Amino acid sequence: MPLFHDDAISKLKDDHDKVEAIFKQLKDATPAQTRKLGVQVANLIKIHMALEEEYLYPALRKVPEGEDDKLTEGLVEHDTGKLLINDVLSPKTDKDSFAAKLQVLGEQMTHHHKEEEERGGVFAQARKSDLDLVAMLKKMAAREKDLKAELKDGDLPISEMNFAEPAKSEA
């Protein structure tokens, strides 16, 4: 299978750009478009986070270039994103706050992407290491294909948190 990207990092950066482009479109969207784009971007982020959490982050934990603090911070940011994503994708979501939730998600994602892409961020750490990022891209491409097929058949499973525990209701 020909690979469109040079390596796992260029693929992940490309995902960031796609996500940011949708959030830009959402700024002037009608309610019907907001619904459609919102679900689309939430699933895109969900798949992107799964690829990072299954391949990039664990690989970086094992090499000297990977900084534990940065990796943990990144995963905590994923959790805050997932709380909103799970809400946006829930059939029980409050329709009045849907657009606002997406806006906050967009702001959080922009911040998170900046941190991953900045000097010394996890992407730079990966590029500095001797991790095989082409092999990683191949694994990501295969996994992404499976996740997209799963999505076509229905919903992806609810995103699991890395650290956050959803508050338990007393009732």
Residues at the site binding Fe ion, with contacts judged by CB under 5 A: 52, 116
Burial 119-150 (b: 16+ CB within 10 A, else e): eebbbbbbeebebebeebbeebbeebeebeee
Nearer CB in complex with Fe ion: 76/154: 76
Please identify, using beta-carbon distances, which residue of 18 and 35 lies nearer to Fe ion. 18
Least distance (Å) between residue 124 CB and Fe ion: 13
**Which CB atom, from 7 or from 52, has the smaller least distance to Fe ion?**
52
Q: Could you tell me the maximum CA-CA distance found in the chain, to the nearest angstrom?
A: 54
As measured in angstroms, the least distance from the Cβ of 132 to Fe ion is 19
d(CA 125, CA 104): 28
Token pair belonging to 2: 């020909």
Q: Is 118 helix (H, G, I), strand (E, B) or coil?
A: coil
7 vs 116, which CB is nearer to Fe ion?
116
Give dist(CA 48, CA 111) in Å, integer: 16
Q: How far is the CB of 52 from Fe ion (least distance, A)?
A: 5
In the complex, the smallest distance separating the C-beta of residue 50 from Fe ion, rounded to whole angstroms, is: 10
**DSSP per-residue string spanning 6-27:** SSHHHHHHHHHHHHHHHHHHHT
